[in-house]
Amino acid sequence: MANLEHSFDGRFIRQYAPTTFSMRFGRREIFVCRDSRQRYYSVNPVLDCSTGIQAGHLEVLLFRKWLIIFSKAKW
């Protein structure tokens, strides 16, 4: 069952809006928001993957608009 709480640091809290949500599936967490960061490299127009800002995070940029972050849930 998904738990709609977040355990990300303050960098993501400012992006909370109706289009932003977080889900927890067991020990994993998925955070989805609109991307507002300035990228200083060429971004793939469909799907772009990179390491996250914290250890154990995977960031997926979908259609240059949606940022999906996969991480371990903090208990």
Q: Judge whether 2 lies within some domain.
A: no
In the chain, which stretches have pLDDT less than 70? 1-18, 75
The CA-atom distances, in angstroms, between 1 and each of 4, 15, 27, 57, 72 are 10, 24, 11, 21, 16
> How confident is the model at residue 75, as a pLDDT?
65
52-72: b (≥16 Cβ within 10 Å) or e: eeeeebebbbeeeeebbbebe
Q: Is residue 1 in some structural domain?
A: no
> Is 74 in a helix, a strand, or coil?
coil
Residue 47 confidence (pLDDT) = 92
Length reported for the chain = 75
Which residue range is the domain that position 44 belongs to? Answer: 10-72
Does 5 map to a domain? no
In this predicted structure, what is the pLDDT of residue 46? 92
**pTM, two decimal places:** 0.67
Amino acid in the structure at residue 1: M
Q: What pLDDT does 21 receive?
A: 83
In a domain, 42, yes or no: yes
Q: Please count the structural domains in the chain.
A: 1
**pLDDT tens sequence across 44-65:** 889 999 887 778 889 999 998 8
